[in-house]
Amino acid sequence: MKHNLLSTAFGTLLLFSSFTASGMESDITARVIGGDRAQPNAWPFMVALTRNGATQPFCGGSLIANQYVLTAAHCVDRQTLASDVQAVVNAYNFDDLSSAVRVGIKQIYLHQNYQTAFDGDDIAILELTRAINNPLLTVAKSDDFNELNENLSLNVIGFGSRHYDPVKKVSSDNPRVLHQASVPFVSLAKCKASNSSYKNLGDHVFCAGEIGVDSCQGDSGGPIMYDATNGLKQMGIVSWGVGCGLNPGVYTKVSDYQNWIEDRTAGLSYRQSKNIGIIGLAANRKHIFTFTNQSNKSIELKNPQATVNGNTLLTIIDPANDTCSGHLSPGEHCQIEVDYSIVEYTLGRVLLEFESSDLKEGKVAAWLDYHALQPASNEVKSYLKALPNHSAYENNHRWQVDSKVLHSATDLEANQTSELVLDNLPRGEFSFNYWIQSDGGLDSLTVYLNGKKEKVFFGYTNEILSKGSYSLEMYSASNKVRLVYHRSQNSKQSDSHVSLTELKHRQLLTDILQETLDLIRSNNSSDAGSLGLGSGLALLAMMWLRRSRRQ
């Protein structure tokens, strides 16, 4: 296996070296998948989302009100602080933003039912730190959407990838200039039949695109539009798809969220969600929620109710600490304090809801997300000491060390879990060997990375099928890995568990290649001669050996 990877690495270096030596670029014609460069100022409501100070957008959006941007929830669902993101309004050319406006993000409002883009409700509103006077894009209503049929095309715009490799399943070539593409509308029935991944699409999405014409990575959150009977309307939000230009793309159907959008742009400003991370069990914890009325009319807030995972008995709201109930006048702010208790080790949510007759949906909600765990035992910490810069946590069904094996709890009852969390793991590749000891294909080990489910392994009576190895590439600077073993409701094996060995952390191959190329370039720029290919391969070999020793 190592020989194959090293051969691949050498091959990759050869490819990079040929480009470096000759100065040639790929002969592939790079464009937005089936699209073209947009005209300046053609889409003044286009918004590009960037990290603070960054010069390349990671997602798109649209200015739908003077202080609000519509985008996809998956673009900002893991954003700890809204202030870490900026909106570039009237984004066109990232090499010359003189006609654009860069503005900060004050609040992020995700749809309350959003889990992942694949599950639907992939929609979010961003509240800007100040109002922008650019032209606005009108969000479609149901009558507008009903005009669409398979004989019509829509316009999608963005800074997304212009090339997609279907073999490697990677996108590349993100442009500096805004691009647009005309994509055909696809009926939901036809879309579901086009790919097995689409068979469970819900009613709140639609599809558009065909082979060679599509949005791609980096276009997420941007608008897809149609020139309806009463003017240009935003029909959807770029959400997800299988590949780029290979299957229809999936778009959030914004006309189904009319009330939700109107409520989030009504002028009530508040921090909708906050993840307080890993915490222990505790009684009488406190949190203060703040609401500000930025509109020009009074907003009613009444009958506050707080819950912990749906349980009202674990929360207390003292009326003496509630200045929100009643009518909040324009320009005023209020606060409400919630006392809550955490009594079990689990992922959970403290939810606060107000009723309001001034909002279309009749209520407003804000929440805290948490992960209640306890520090791992000393023997588990000692076993994991070779892993760099991390903290280990468990739930109440503790992991154990037996000789050179780390295993989940062996006394789980039906439908219980034994969880191990490795927090703050640095960028790199995390790998391990596993053996699920179970009586059938019911019990499972699930691996999560930064909140996203990455892999599920099931146990089988056949020992060969129950064993294997797994590696997880982690690209963030700090990462949270969850290993959750679940004993099924129908499992018959009383000591069902998973055993792990060879838990390792090593440098990403892509980072090794980048370091090698940086050294080659540095040598070429500082010396009269150039670093030969043989020397480059020698450097790569040394780095590979260093990586292998870290395993």
CB 183 within 8 A of CB 244: no
- DSSP structure class, residue 378: H
Among 328, 327, 324, smallest CA distance to 366 is for: 324
Which helix H or strand E contains 193, and what residues bound it? helix 188-194
Question: Which tokens go with 110?
Answer: 């995700």
Instruction: Count the neighbouring beta carbons within 10 Å of the beta carbon of residue 148.
Output: 20
Residue type present at position 357: S
Could you confirm whether 220 is annotated as catalytic? yes
Report residue 90: phi and psi, to 5°. 60, 40
CB 164 within 8 A of CB 171: yes
Given 17, 171, 220, 408, the catalytic residue = 220
Which helix H or strand E contains 12, and what residues bound it? helix 2-22
- Count Cβ neighbours within 10 Å for each residue of 79-97 and write b for 16 or more, e otherwise: beebeebbbbbbbbbbeee
CA distance linking residue 265 with residue 106, whole number of Å? 13
User: Backbone dihedral region of 518: left (phi > 0), alpha (psi from -120 to 50 degrees) or beta?
Assistant: alpha
Could you confirm whether 99 is annotated as catalytic? no
CA distance linking residue 397 with residue 412, whole number of Å? 7
Given 62, 74, 371, 466, the catalytic residue = 74
β-bridge partners, 96: none
CB 480 within 8 A of CB 425: yes
CA distance linking residue 292 with residue 294, whole number of Å? 6
- Residue for token digits 């099928």? 465
Going 105 to 97 to 55 to 217, the CA torsion angle's sign is positive
Taking CB atoms within 8 Å and a gap of at least 24, the contacts of 96-103 are 99/40, 99/41, 101/132, 101/134, 103/128, 103/129, 103/130, 103/132
Could you confirm whether 74 is annotated as catalytic? yes
Given 17, 77, 121, 122, the catalytic residue = 122
* Class of residue 343 by CB neighbours under 10 A (exposed 0-12, middle 13-18, buried 19+): middle
Give DSSP secondary structure letters for 121-177.
---EEEEESS---S--PEEP-HHHHTT--TT-EEEEEES--SEEETTTTEEE---SB
Could you tell me the CA-to-CA distances from 491 to 57, 79, 415, 420 in Å, in that order? Answer: 48, 38, 9, 21
CA distance linking residue 516 with residue 29, whole number of Å? 28
Could you tell me the CA-to-CA distances from 89 to 50, 94, 123, 264, 319 in Å, in that order? Answer: 11, 12, 19, 19, 42
**SS3 of the chain: helix, strand, coil, percent, to 5:** 20, 40, 40
Among 157, 182, 187, 162, smallest CA distance to 172 is for: 162
By annotation, the residues acting in catalysis are 74, 122, 220
